[in-house]
Amino acid sequence: MLVSHFKKGATPRESQRFILDKMETLLKSGYKRFIVSAPTGSGKSHVAGALADALGSTFIVTSTKQLQDQYVRDFPEMAVIKGKSNFECHQLMKREHIGEKRRALQKGLTCEKGQCMTKRGGKVVATCEFKAPNPDGQCVYYKQKEEGLARPRTILNYALYFYLKKFQSDSAGIDRQVTIFDEAHTIESEVVRFVGYDIPGGYLAETGLDQRRFDIESVRGMLGLLGSLKDAYAELIRRSHEPVTTADVVRMRRLDRRLDGVVNASRDIGRDEDNFIMQEPEFDAQGNLSRISAVPLDISSYTRDLLDSEIQVFMSATIDRDNFSKSIGMENCVLIDVPKSPFPAENRMVEFRNTARLSSRSPESDEIRVANSIDNIMAAHQDSRGLILTSSKARCYNLLKRLSRRQASRIQVAHSKNQDNTSLGDILDAHGTTPNGVLLSSSLWQGIDLKGDLSRFQIIEKCPYPYLGDSRVAAKNRADRSWYVYQTIVKLLQGLGRSVRDDDDHADTYVMDSAVQELLRRHRTMVPAAYHDVLFAQQT
């Protein structure tokens, strides 16, 4: 029985036993692809651990380093593979005469900056001495990668998993019987990020190319630019002298990496040109090109190669079988929908205030009414920490202006990039020391855990519809409105789960935008069963 493989010393919860028993029955019936919809607190990581122990060689794929670390804490016997930016480069340390890992990391001498291979004319002419076993110390990145692939149960992130499947699929340890995809609702965006390609404006400056020579708003123009970049980088490498200093090594590594990138992008986009779409070009304050991007519309042709294990398990707290299967191009997926949350409904109730229907065209009177209502909610929670989620950075700052001085003083705007260059980690650390601080963000809908007193109330100001100014979002919406609705509902449900993270936790949730309740009512079938008790409790 699958449940017998549960971690020793731990007792399966009702939800965990439900998932494992259902999966055992379905496996015996011949099913190979499973969608597991399990709310926060269901213990998905322990389910994954039991499946990995029972079913054979397994990859567990996660979306963040924090989730990787959580798996390792829960299952120290599993291997973990992390990316090059997490490891010191012995090659650069040797050149800089640095013997301590800590100092190397402080100076930014990480593995992705070292030159693993030296190429001439497209051929590898030398390999880093530390890449293979070396008495002076093997490259720590490759060592942990080799050890991780040699173990039967391995944890890695999506970017590395996709890279291994695409470029090293024939290597030992890559072909696994089972792959478990945690936070599976992010797979489409992860594939788009992996398959799509950005050209930073710095590439043109480095190679001396003039952006005006190219139609940077068409895929055909992008391919022309990639071809010119390929020739320009090949010429820069040909003219470069042998690396002597650390700066030389870093520069050669950068040139090699950029040449490989444009070659691969030119090939991949050229093979599927009609499936790619250009994003709006980005320019800096001086009008110089910052970035152009091409991304795929349909990812199904890529997922067939990237998601190819015999048994595949897609796990998320916010997932709908029909829309998820369609979005990633997978058929024959069977759903295991955990029917209820392990957390009491009274600890996570949602109050739909329906103060106004908000949009980019909302009258100022509606915006003020919503701000006043939020101000009153904050006053009612004057001594507690909280979270306010909205749909854009502009809305964050506009709301902040409309709040009373007393409540605005509690607010910390929190994004991955902030006006004062403060990191999100710094902001979250400061939030933990501010007795009644309130985070305001358009980007914290997922990926953070505000456990316990870190958030006793949360407010959803605006329904988080995907931004239609994004070319891909607009095209997907035109092709399939249900895709657009599904993306919105997933983001909403993710947001609802930020502040209640365990059995004893509790937080009050308030929804201001009347569009939210209307959307959920109209598309109730997209909402996993475990959310129905709080989302539809107010319906008559």
CB 2 within 8 A of CB 50: yes
Task: Select, from the ranges 246-250, 327-331, 400-404, 413-417, the one with the highest average predicted confidence (pLDDT).
Answer: 400-404
- pLDDT of 136 > 60? The answer is no
What pairs with residue 352 in β-bridges?
A: 511
- Closest residue by Cα to residue 528 from 328, 335, 300: 335
Burial 429-440 (b: 16+ CB within 10 A, else e): eebeeeeebbbb
Rounded Cα distance between 459 and 462, Å, is 9
**Res 120: pLDDT:** 64
What pairs with residue 37 in β-bridges?
A: 316, 337
**Res 139: pLDDT:** 87
2-97+130-194+299-337 shares its CATH topology with 345-535? yes
Rounded Cα distance between 461 and 506, Å, is 20
- pLDDT of 377 > 50? The answer is yes
Report CA Rg, the chain: 25
- pLDDT of 540 > 70? The answer is no
- pLDDT of 126 > 60? The answer is yes
223: Cβ–Cβ under 8 A, 6 or more apart, which residues?
A: 266, 269, 270, 273
- Per-residue pLDDT reduced to its tens digit, 455-488: 999 999 999 999 999 999 999 999 999 999 999 9
Which amino acid is residue 124, in one-letter code?
Answer: V
CB 315 within 8 A of CB 180: yes
**Res 1: pLDDT:** 85
Strands 289-296 and 276-278, by their bridges, are: antiparallel
pTM: 0.90
**Res 316: pLDDT:** 96
CATH placement of domain 2-97+130-194+299-337: 3.40.50.300
**Res 331: pLDDT:** 82
Q: Which fold has domain 345-535?
A: Rossmann fold (3.40.50)
Do you know the residue count of the chain?
540
Better pLDDT: 278 or 142: 278
**What confidence category does residue 517 fall into, taking pLDDT thresholds of 50, 70 and 90?**
very high
The predicted model gives 278-303 an average pLDDT of 91
**Res 414: pLDDT:** 93
- pLDDT of 315 > 90? The answer is yes
DSSP 8-state symbol, 235: H
Boundaries of every domain in the chain: 2-97+130-194+299-337, 197-296, 345-535
CB 64 within 8 A of CB 341: no
Which amino acid is residue 509, in one-letter code?
Answer: T
Rounded Cα distance between 348 and 93, Å, is 51
**Ramachandran sector of residue 274 (left: φ over 0; alpha: ψ -120 to 50; beta: rest):** alpha
- Per-residue pLDDT reduced to its tens digit, 262-283: 999 999 999 999 999 999 999 8
**What confidence category does residue 425 fall into, taking pLDDT thresholds of 50, 70 and 90?**
confident
60: Cβ–Cβ under 8 A, 6 or more apart, which residues?
A: 48, 52, 71, 78, 153, 154, 155, 156, 179, 180, 182
**Res 391: pLDDT:** 96
CB 83 within 8 A of CB 112: yes
Better pLDDT: 324 or 131: 324
Please report which helix (H) or strand (E) contains residue 291, including its range: strand 289-296
- Per-residue pLDDT reduced to its tens digit, 157-203: 999 999 999 999 999 999 999 999 999 999 999 999 999 999 999 99
Centre a 10 Å sphere on the Cβ of residue 284 and count the other Cβ atoms it contains.
10
Residue 367 tokens read as: 């915006």
**Res 420: pLDDT:** 73
Instruction: Give percent of the chain with pLDDT exceeding 90.
Output: 74
Q: What are the DSSP calls for 3-32, one per residue?
A: GGGSPTT-PPPHHHHHHHHHHHHHHHTT--
What pairs with residue 180 in β-bridges?
A: 60, 313
**Res 295: pLDDT:** 96
CA angle 317, 5, 41 (to 5 degrees): 25
- pLDDT of 134 > 60? The answer is no
Centre a 10 Å sphere on the Cβ of residue 75 and count the other Cβ atoms it contains.
20
